[in-house]
Amino acid sequence: MAVAVRFFCAIGASRMGFLSSKKVKKALREAIYTKLLKLGAAYKEQIKTSEIVQVAVEGVDQLETYFGAYLPQFFYAMLAPLTLFLVLLRVNIPSAVVLFVCVPLIPAAIAAVQTWAKKLLSKYWGQYTALGDTFLENLQGLTTLKIYQADAFKNKEMNEESEKFRKITMKVLTMQLNSITIMDIIAYGGAALGVFFSVTQYQKGGVDLAGALLVILLSADFFIPMRQLGSFFHIAMNGMAASEKIFRFLELPEAPKKAAKFPRNAEIVCENLRFSYEAGREILKGMDLRIPRGRFVAIAGESGCGKSTVASILMGRNRGYKGTIRIGDIELSDIAESSLMQNITYISHNSYLFKGTIRENLLMGNPNATEDEMWAVLEQTNLAAFLRNEEGLDTKLAEKASNLSGGQCQRLALARALLHDSPVYIFDEATSNIDVESENDIMEQILLLAKKKSVLLISHRLANITKADMIYAMEQGEVKECGTHEELLRKNGLYQKMWTTQQRLELYGKGGVNV
């Protein structure tokens, strides 16, 4: 009967532990996701993507043991020895007292290890997230590493990171093994001491045979709950180390909630705009920029001069700028992020396309779009004929649309952007690294958009911005000159030099001149 009761109680405890850990995991992951939404597009300024993935997946999983095993075992380990002590007091007081006194030695050993374990596991998780960040970065840039034959160097670098992680892992395992050995000595030593006292009491006549056997049988049960608690403790400490990272993320400061709406039919004006990614290195140095309503504005300049930083700031991805950015009469930092995203569409050279179907990706631009509207934007971007030969809107895309060419990916991203139909469009090197046909298709749509929308085009190829109403030529974070294409050529300044150099290189590429 007792065995049956114990069996069903164990099943019940296991189920309750599982359900509690399941609820905690769900609540934590929802909290992490909600926090990401609150941090908004600028979350990368405070935490790395790889660290979020690690704490949201493995970090939360580590807490399953804490809530599903450690906490239930903790209460069981507190109650079981006390219950057995009260039972054995009626059988033999000396044996019961000896067993009960030895039990606290196990939590004492746990407490002695806890401070050391906490520091060690904190270092372990720090090294683990650092290794994950390095791995993700190298994996995403593997093609680039191969092109520049830098994969061997990065391989060596990653091996060094892995060796550091191996060493800290071995230290953790050594700590766990040593503490488990100490707890085993206490548990088995205490049980042996209880057996010794029960036999001694039986020989002295202090307890009958049945009582002595009961003490012998229950002496191990005095220590088993605490011993199991010690085993769960190490896994729980790993979970607690992970939880520190989780709660540190959840406590990250959030930008004040903004309520202002994006003004319709307003121009965007940047005055004395300054921005730094790190102290002492200014990327934008007092830049002035104006994007009138319904006009076509372009930014030109060498790589690293701050062009894309301007786009990121306008999209709310980089905060902490100095100077003013006004949309109508409202400061950019006062506009709600949801309103900003609704009114500004950003298309980069690597716009993300999700695994799924063409339809699902297009509906992200406008969830209420009809099939006719989707086919219309596909016609505009020269993708309709290709997709009709496939499965139409139900054509499946692999991860990052790897089953499409680079040009097709960019045209599909543009089609999605056209469905969004926002008053402002920002194209950040949208025609970079694609075929000529796709570049022409995209530029044709940009020029059409510029007739009815506010368009900011950032392009390394100056031939694409010649029809802009205003061109800003940048150098080292500053606007050196601005004007139309013809005006800038007449100034014989920075823009004219860039234009001449590019034209000579393009002619040389076609076999026209020898540079």
Domain ranges, ordered by start, for the chain:
12-250, 268-509
Of 96 and 308, the one with more pLDDT: 308
Torsion of CA 161, 164, 169, 170, to 10 degrees: 140
pLDDT of 135-173, one tens digit each? Answer: 877 887 777 777 777 778 888 888 888 888 888 888 888
3-state secondary structure 310-375: HHHHHCCCCCCCEEEEEECCEEHHHECHHHHHHHEEEEECCCCCCCEEHHHHHHCCCCCCCHHHHH
- % the chain with pLDDT above 90: 8
* CB count in 10 Å sphere of residue 324: 13
Q: Give the side-chain half-sphere CA count within 13 A for 3.
A: 0
CATH 1.10.10.10 fits 12-250, yes or no: no
According to the per-residue pLDDT averaged within each range, which of 52-66, 215-229, 408-422 is highest? 408-422
**pLDDT tens profile 100-137:** 777 777 777 777 777 777 778 778 877 887 887 788 77
More confident residue, 426 or 35: 426
Give mean pLDDT, residues 65-90. 79
Instruction: Identify the pLDDT of residue 515.
Output: 43
Question: In the predicted model, what is the mean pLDDT of residues 384-397?
Answer: 88
Q: Is the model's pTM score more than 0.95?
A: no
Percent of the chain with pLDDT over 70: 93
Query: How many residues can be counted in the chain?
Result: 515
- Identify the CATH number of the domain defined by range 268-509: 3.40.50.300
Choice among 6-20, 161-175, 277-291, 460-474 with the minimum mean pLDDT:
6-20
Residue at token pair 């993507």: 49
